[in-house]
Structure 1
């Protein structure tokens, strides 16, 4: 017969569930920060170029990281929007380049290359480029309308990733903290204090009780009875190891009143651990199921090739790892925490926890890093430290009204210190390469999220110091603990958003304003954003003391060493209340140092040329 949770258990579980529910709402509101990551390095045929008839060749798009493309993800369209029949896209350059071939019987005209791919870190990237076949292209050709379904699924995926982070805290961090505290007290008399008492309470859920109270159901506490576990980053998780050779502790048949109260708390924390593991499993499965449509639209859900591409992509592998790990932790049913013996169930739980953390780390920016190994290790340690810090606070919150609160804080302190040190080191390793230049730290959404996270970390550490100082004086400020838990919960949310947001180096998009001297005239060059990709250059030619007449304006964009030249097709525009001396041209530029050269012809005998540095971020 299943026992019903008591009032204290429901109240404790309710407080913990309230934190998770509030973060769900915050996560939905904040998912707009994230966007695509992979950047186009080059397109062939290049934007605005004219391909000679009979020399059509291949269409290639080269990215700065490995990408995944569906069969419909690379298309060539005519000026009326009709799709040109091309072979299935192929990969080159270690999956950094996607390519297809133009048909031999393609008529002359303007054509648009359109692509939609999945970057290595799980974000979709779309774009287009125009070229001419046998004739100069019409660069005013309208771009394809983005698929609204893909945008909605991207937003949903980012929300699912945020929920995954919260699930890891409860599913992995909370059991690890309870295991650590139990191990530290394995050689001391069980006095029913601290988090260790919660472990004893968990044992009472599956052992015969002589107190007269009905036992709690095993499913309420299966995860927290995990035993001494370790996940990725063994050096960091060595805090959890138990003393070798110790005799397994024998569970008692009678618990003290303090242990009885902790049993109620243990049931609540055990339920939360199960909810966390279930959350990771559900969100990972959902991310996996959404991948085909994110690659190629709704029709890709019924295409086997799209499912193959989804399962073999980095994002798909990360989701599979998270799903497998969460399922193993739910099914392992490990033995009692105090038992230090290595059993198949304990080993299974450890493997499941490791896969869960590894999948969460792989779903972030580690997949796209140039130094993949170091970045993945750093991200794994970062996720583990975050889970331990958050899991410890959840355990302390669960017993914050009990007499064992001071002991719980003392047991949790070394975990918190180790977690903070690991977070600081790994956070620095991951953040420094992403902040280029430094101005991007406060001008991009990613940089602002990072600053907010750092500020909250400082607030949390200050709250923790005050809280532990008062606890040593037998003063227990419950509001301070709630505040610390709330701020740490927001830190977890910000960590998830940072994993899904465009790094500062990729989101940095400063404007360009330059003035070129053209004899007695000047050319004001303006570009709204200098991020890599599509750009529009606006040029205003003026003379301060007299009207000006311009016959033509031509331009060329090339690398500083005059390689990769791109001729610009300037067209004259006439804004309201202004003269006919405004010109605009569209271009596509990759990240790097370029030079923009302009030639202005005033009449048959007068022309000037000038150039300016053109830094693309």
Structure 2
């Protein structure tokens, strides 16, 4: 491969590798019944939330609170009209007049919890209403659980990479490299056994970590989805609810596949049925390849294929259109990542165990044979990552500006930088170190300084890969811009002594409903000290505005504009001013992506 072709492939990869393994978008709330901020004359029979994709509805998905914080909904969550994209709950009969806060906490198609809510009133609004943010915060599982869930995903990704990639390395790189390099010296048998012992240990540890991470993901999902502690999530009833979801079922399947693979690996190791060498049969001289069991190989391949498929099946690739494109792209993406990461891991941690058993010149030959073969597979993996990442990025990222102005985009840029360094190491190895090793092998010389540089590069690559996988595990907490900008936009900020909750619906070009809710920052009551509330719309990029918004008071602490006009698709700024006296006012701003 020429230097120009390698640079082109690396450049393509850098433009597309930003997408995490099984990147996750989140369900977006499209509408509610009753509408957000509405003042009703009569009590509705139910409260319903409608989303843009199917959602899981366990874990007390919908709750409705009165102004004192008491729940006033029935026990059973149901699907209005049998619609998989909606969840609803019946209200208690004969509710008194006042303000009510409805919240939802559902599982998106990517298996991650999505939450939110709104306030509505029956008859005369209450002087105080529970804040959506405070209610959801009270039901949150906390930072410890979310951090543990991130670590669990990271370990799960790492286990897949080392387990799948390591097994492929054994058959696609190690076996042909060993057979091409080995002479009749019986010392090669010891080198092969040393490599297999170290590689088998690494892959076995990966299987154990993968099994544990899969099982731990079930209660962690329950805690995160239901807003409860990890220990409460271990209760049989909560575990059962998670297992009944698609995510829980897939985690059990993945755990079973890891267990099957670990058993196959143990049998193959004990019976010497993995790629290595043995002494030749009686009457012959030298060494011969081990006999590899076709049955064990097939069982292991089925188990690893199952493991490899679970990230895509647990994410949006299996539910988001076009599924026929996204699902295979995601599978190839995970496979390519595994080839790269698993191969690096065995090169740095298992190969030295083999080379230490060989004469200096033979070390160079084996090192060259392994690196030459792995380099070809690594280049193919980079190209596969580039193509599949481009497909996913076009669908999920949507626009270049989102790389800068969204949390998802900024995390993506971190991953791009790390991957750029990784590809740089790979290019240096292929361009300089492998030719240098070839010259040393031709002269029957030891690796020497080249070997030291190579080990340093490989160690740095492995360290960076673990960080890249950690970023990929963290990325699932961010909705991609194409999803987060589709549908109503809501959020929360502070303005002086008050908390401002806002909703822009439907966040599209044209007329939108703008709802502003003010709550006292100390006790959560509706903030009524405002004498005047005003809002202005600005599009800095297009030099539009500020445009005054016609705000009307809809209730205590509630202001609405039914026709807030956003003229172009862009990222708009909404500036809100709350005047509490003739000489005192507070200001706050928030961003609204209009599509």
TM-score (normalizing by structure 1): 0.66
- What is the CA-CA distance between 1:414 and the residue it aligns to? 1.8
Relative distance call for 1:532 and 1:353 in structure 2 (3 A) is same
Residue of structure 1 in register with 2:382 after alignment: 420
Relative distance call for 1:138 and 1:41 in structure 2 (3 A) is farther
- What is the CA-CA distance between 1:45 and the residue it aligns to? 1.4
Residue of structure 2 in register with 1:362 after alignment: 313
Residue of structure 1 in register with 2:500 after alignment: none
Relative distance call for 1:133 and 1:432 in structure 2 (3 A) is same
Which of 446, 449, 452 does residue 411 from structure 2 map onto? 449
| Alignment gaps of 5+ in structure 1 | 1-30, 194-253, 510-529, 540-554, 574-578, 586-594, 602-608
Confirm whether residue 336 of structure 1 aligns to residue 274 of structure 2: yes
Confirm whether residue 192 of structure 1 aligns to residue 182 of structure 2: yes
Separation of aligned partners in 2, 1:442 and 1:273: 38
Confirm whether residue 289 of structure 1 aligns to residue 219 of structure 2: yes
Task: Write the mapping of 1:9-48 to structure 2, written as runs, cut at 5 A.
Answer: 37-48=26-37
Confirm whether residue 178 of structure 1 aligns to residue 129 of structure 2: no
Residue of structure 2 in register with 1:97 after alignment: 86
Relative distance call for 1:428 and 1:321 in structure 2 (3 A) is farther
CA RMSD, 1 decimal: 3.9
Confirm whether residue 50 of structure 1 aligns to residue 43 of structure 2: no
Residue of structure 1 in register with 2:490 after alignment: 533
Relative distance call for 1:123 and 1:454 in structure 2 (3 A) is same
Separation of aligned partners in 1, 2:517 and 2:210: 52
Q: Say whether the 8 Å CA contact 1:572–1:580 is kept in structure 2.
A: no
- What is the CA-CA distance between 1:94 and the residue it aligns to? 4.4
**Secondary structure in 2 aligned to 1:149?**
coil
Residue of structure 1 in register with 2:481 after alignment: 504
Residue of structure 1 in register with 2:107 after alignment: 118
Q: Say whether the 8 Å CA contact 1:124–1:154 is kept in structure 2.
A: no
- What is the CA-CA distance between 1:381 and the residue it aligns to? 1.0
Separation of aligned partners in 2, 1:339 and 1:279: 28
- What is the CA-CA distance between 1:416 and the residue it aligns to? 0.7
Q: Say whether the 8 Å CA contact 1:434–1:505 is kept in structure 2.
A: yes
- What is the CA-CA distance between 1:597 and the residue it aligns to? 4.9
**Secondary structure in 2 aligned to 1:110?**
strand
Relative distance call for 1:278 and 1:321 in structure 2 (3 A) is same
Which of 257, 281, 295 does residue 325 from structure 1 map onto? 257
- What is the CA-CA distance between 1:101 and the residue it aligns to? 1.5
Which of 200, 207, 211 does residue 270 from structure 1 map onto? 200
- What is the CA-CA distance between 1:37 and the residue it aligns to? 2.8
Which of 83, 97, 101 does residue 108 from structure 1 map onto? 97
- What is the CA-CA distance between 1:387 and the residue it aligns to? 0.6
Separation of aligned partners in 2, 1:599 and 1:320: 52
Separation of aligned partners in 2, 1:561 and 1:393: 49
Separation of aligned partners in 1, 2:24 and 2:139: 15
- What is the CA-CA distance between 1:364 and the residue it aligns to? 4.1
Relative distance call for 1:293 and 1:480 in structure 2 (3 A) is closer
- What is the CA-CA distance between 1:572 and the residue it aligns to? 13
The Cα offsets for residues 353-409 of structure 1, whole Å up to 9 and x where unpaired, read as: 011111133344435533334222211111111111111112222325643211111
Task: Write the mapping of 1:397-408 to structure 2, written as runs, cut at 5 A.
Answer: 397=348, 398-399=350-351, 402-403=363-364, 404-408=366-370
**Secondary structure in 2 aligned to 1:72?**
coil
Q: Say whether the 8 Å CA contact 1:36–1:125 is kept in structure 2.
A: no
Residue of structure 1 in register with 2:543 after alignment: none
Confirm whether residue 70 of structure 1 aligns to residue 47 of structure 2: no
**Secondary structure in 1 aligned to 2:403?**
helix
Which of 144, 149, 157 does residue 149 from structure 2 map onto? 157
The Cα offsets for residues 421-455 of structure 1, whole Å up to 9 and x where unpaired, read as: 11111111122222233211022232122222223
**Secondary structure in 2 aligned to 1:56?**
coil
Residue of structure 2 in register with 1:488 after alignment: 465
**Secondary structure in 1 aligned to 2:74?**
coil
Relative distance call for 1:295 and 1:141 in structure 2 (3 A) is closer
Confirm whether residue 583 of structure 1 aligns to residue 553 of structure 2: no
Separation of aligned partners in 1, 2:223 and 2:504: 39
- What is the CA-CA distance between 1:111 and the residue it aligns to? 1.1
- The count of corresponding residues between Structure 1 and Structure 2 is 466
After the TM superposition, which of the residue ranges 406-415 and 444-453 deviates more from structure 2? Answer: 444-453
Residue of structure 2 in register with 1:518 after alignment: none
The Cα offsets for residues 81-111 of structure 1, whole Å up to 9 and x where unpaired, read as: 1111414001246421101122332222211
